Structure 1
Amino acid sequence: MDPLEDLRTVGASLWGDADIAVGPPPPGAHCQVHDEQYVAVPSAQRPRFLVSADLGPTATSRLLREYNSLRATGPRLARAGLALLAGLGWSAGTSSRRVQVHHRDLDDTGLRGFLARELGRDPHTIALACGVRVAHGIARPIVTVADRRGRPLLFVKLAGTALHQRRLRNEYEMLGALADRRLPGFHTPAPAFWRHWNGHALLAVEPLPREVEPLRPRDAGYTARALASLTTERIPHAVGDSPWLHSLRRRAGHVAPADRERVTAGIDRVVDLAGDVVLPHDVGHGDWSFWNMAHLPSSGRVALWDWEFGHPRAPRGLDELHWDYAVATTIRGVPAPRVVARQRDLHDGRGPAARTVRVLHTLDMATRLYENATLGDADAAATAHRLLDTVPG
């Protein structure tokens, strides 16, 4: 396996079809005005993070420290150490860590040039930084756009697959709607722009306030109280007429045919059994997890981001179930079917409304797994089959 494969996969999103080389440029190499240099941390062979190489030590240190408290323990400690070293004058840009990006002509400026034009800036006045994360051969970069002092100007999410583009488009529409409605007690990042570039959908959002403080699994009570106050309309809908359920049907239409039939059959069973059950609907986040939110001390509000699964009219109760599901599966490593079985035991005896919301959440999780299966996750479909086994028939 090519040790630079992940770097090249992410690089295809950031730099188009530019030539990428690791190490110092050869003697006499011609550098164009739009060529770029990055530092791969901890190394080009094991890249976890890319940052523009032409930032000074102070700016690099600042960029590494921004929002670092929100990260998981390992990345947080690593970035804090690198930020300290950078502030002391250490440069990560040794020749072995340099990534040279050579654009073949002046019209090919990569993502940095594109974003500079959107911002009305010279490309050399902004810097890009990005994590290097690839799953099943697919990169979904989240790029920090900073000024020359290391201050974030934008966060930019890129999506190359049809599935990820649909999710990102949904997030853009949700953020636009929320900017007008202003959720009480919450701060959501304002969308800056939505564009298409180099085969990717691109969503740019404004940075979060710098004062953000992290939330953890132990903060379930605090976030539940905040969620209880999240209300704009609370419109009642019978399950059979739920706009959220209609959206779930549309999502199921994009998965593999056999999986589509399974999800659709599950939805039909719920409508047959509980189509007349009336549930309050309001704004739903859809990925209600502590890693998508933070506390704002000055106002007491909750910053809330990553609205790819959001819906303007979702049944109340789905987000509470998702917190439990996400923490159990992602943090504690509990298999998803076991989590869903526990939720069934806890909620199905609490009446038709609680049972119906639980089943809807299970259908949602199964659909997400089937969606992921279309991207090469071989285990996702099998897990989704087991979740659907808990849907009443």
Structure 2
Amino acid sequence: MFADKVSVRPGNGGIDEFLEKVLGEPVNLSLYIGPERAVQKPIVQVLSSRGQTIAFSKVAVNELTASLINNEIWSIDTVRNADLPHLSAPRIINCEKWNDRPVVVQAAVRPGKSEQRLSTLLPDATRELTSVAGLIKAEWNLSEYRRTLCARIANLEPSGLHDKLQSAIDEFDEVMIGRILTFGAWHGDWARWNMTTSASGDRIVAWDWEHFERGVPAGFDAVHFDISDAVVVEKLSPVDAIARLLRQSDNSLARTCVIESDFVAVVCSYLLEIATRYLEQDEVSKADSPMSRLGEWFAKAVDGAIAALRGKISDG
């Protein structure tokens, strides 16, 4: 499906026929395929005969993308059913299979109010998302999240990056002995290009929920947002973006949303999480973005973050 050419053939059980049946009207399709990545999958923009975007559809192409689509379906249901005051997700129109491939069809989200309105809603929406499945407190070294993360790291292919990741979590564990963190949910790719405001302007509507997860250190989304904004929008290097976030005392989503006593530890654990994800999904070899090039930034950034954590603890 991802050879040199991709064709969308009308009729004969094609995706167009499937979507016309689901939506109950003739459709035109626009197929988006982004840069080569392990999580790459066709994203189909569905247009009416009048040329209006009425839906988007994701189609699984392998076991990994099938699991991501299934997680996205469950995640959207979780968020929409929570009826949060400042956050929602696109309506799922259909989540059946096409040619034995999991497919999710989501209603198109109409762009809402200004960027300024999105920024105003963002802190409340981020907090609501973190607590959507409840919050718990646990000692880091005894937490279920740490146990799962260590197992994921142990299952990675041997490499220099794997060795650095293992030594980093060992050092982090040592620093975190007896220390308690708050755990909640995260979107997994909380970034301004994955959201807009609702037409009424009272909520953020976010999409791309395939990495949603519960039971992670509370604040992962806020940290991810700030680092992604700095790297993608401001063009800072990951090392500089992370160092600036650790230095900032205010004026960042993370400083607004993360418990102050947990802040540096949450940044450290986020770096361990994102490096693990990139390695286990082979993003390092298949993607070409600054954050996916772990060899250029991870060691320096995680060493600096753990050093900052040691300093914070020693200062009381």
The normalised TM-score by structure 2 is 0.74
- Report the secondary structure of 2:286's partner residue: coil
Change in 2 beyond 3 A, CA 1:373/1:244: same
- Report the secondary structure of 1:307's partner residue: coil
Distance 1:299 1:351 in 2: 30
Distance 1:294 1:366 in 2: 27
Partner residue, 2:115: 215
Distance 1:334 1:120 in 2: 43
Distance 1:332 1:142 in 2: 27
Contact conserved, 2:88 with 2:204, CA < 8 A, in 1?
Answer: yes
Which digits, 9 at most, give the CA deviation of each residue in 1:47-99, with x for residues without a partner? xxxxxxxxxxxxxxxxxxxxxxxxxxxxxxxxxxxxxxxxxxxxxxxxxxxxx
Change in 2 beyond 3 A, CA 1:112/1:253: farther
Q: Which moved more, 1:278-287 or 1:229-238?
A: 229-238
Q: Please report how far the alpha carbon of residue 112 of structure 1 lies from its aligned counterpart in structure 2 after TM superposition.
A: 1.5
Which digits, 9 at most, give the CA deviation of each residue in 1:135-157, with x for residues without a partner? 36985332122332334443112
- Report the secondary structure of 2:28's partner residue: strand
Match of 1:392 among 302, 306, 309: 306
Contact conserved, 2:118 with 2:204, CA < 8 A, in 1?
Answer: no
Which digits, 9 at most, give the CA deviation of each residue in 1:85-137, with x for residues without a partner? xxxxxxxxxxxxxxxxxx8xx4xx322133344x1747xx2221233533369
- Report the secondary structure of 1:287's partner residue: coil
Partner residue, 2:89: 188
1:277-356 mapped onto 2 (5 Å cutoff): 277-298=179-200, 300-346=202-248, 353-356=262-265
Residues 1:227 and 2:140 aligned together? no
Which digits, 9 at most, give the CA deviation of each residue in 1:261-308, with x for residues without a partner? 443443343233215322222332222211111122525111122122
Backbone CA RMSD of aligned residues:
3.6
Identity %: 21
Partner residue, 1:85: none
Q: Please report how far the alpha carbon of residue 168 of structure 1 lies from its aligned counterpart in structure 2 after TM superposition.
A: 3.3
- Report the secondary structure of 2:228's partner residue: helix
> What amino acid is the match of 1:213?
K
Q: Please report how far the alpha carbon of residue 335 of structure 1 lies from its aligned counterpart in structure 2 after TM superposition.
A: 1.0
Distance 1:180 1:310 in 2: 15
Distance 2:148 2:205 in 1: 26
Distance 1:253 1:115 in 2: 42
The normalised TM-score by structure 1 is 0.61
Contact conserved, 2:69 with 2:104, CA < 8 A, in 1?
Answer: yes
Larger strand percent: 1
If you compute each CA radius of gyration, which structure gives the higher value, 1 or 2? 1
- Report the secondary structure of 1:227's partner residue: helix
- Report the secondary structure of 2:304's partner residue: coil
Partner residue, 1:110: 14
The higher-RCO structure (CA 8 Å, 6+ apart) is: 2
- Unaligned 5+ residue runs, structure 2? 250-258, 308-316
Distance 2:64 2:287 in 1: 12
- Report the secondary structure of 2:306's partner residue: coil
Match of 2:266 among 349, 357, 363: 357
> What amino acid is the match of 1:375?
K
Q: Please report how far the alpha carbon of residue 326 of structure 1 lies from its aligned counterpart in structure 2 after TM superposition.
A: 0.6
Change in 2 beyond 3 A, CA 1:219/1:191: closer
- Unaligned 5+ residue runs, structure 1? 1-5, 16-34, 37-102
Q: Please report how far the alpha carbon of residue 316 of structure 1 lies from its aligned counterpart in structure 2 after TM superposition.
A: 2.1
Contact conserved, 1:237 with 1:279, CA < 8 A, in 2?
Answer: yes
Q: Please report how far the alpha carbon of residue 164 of structure 1 lies from its aligned counterpart in structure 2 after TM superposition.
A: 4.0
Distance 1:318 1:256 in 2: 25
1:1-393 mapped onto 2 (5 Å cutoff): 9=4, 11=6, 15=8, 35-36=9-10, 106=12, 109-117=13-21, 119=22, 121=24, 125-135=26-36, 140-160=41-61, 162-195=63-96, 197=98, 201-208=102-109, 210=110, 212-213=112-113, 215=115, 220=119, 222-230=121-129, 231-232=131-132, 233-249=134-150, 251-252=152-153, 255-258=156-159, 259-298=161-200, 300-346=202-248, 353-370=262-279, 371=281, 372-375=283-286, 377=288, 380-383=293-296, 384-390=298-304, 392=306
Which digits, 9 at most, give the CA deviation of each residue in 1:162-184, with x for residues without a partner? 54444333322211222332333
Partner residue, 1:32: none
Distance 2:151 2:202 in 1: 37
Distance 1:254 1:168 in 2: 23
Q: Name the count of aligned residue pairs.
A: 290
Q: Please report how far the alpha carbon of residue 246 of structure 1 lies from its aligned counterpart in structure 2 after TM superposition.
A: 4.6
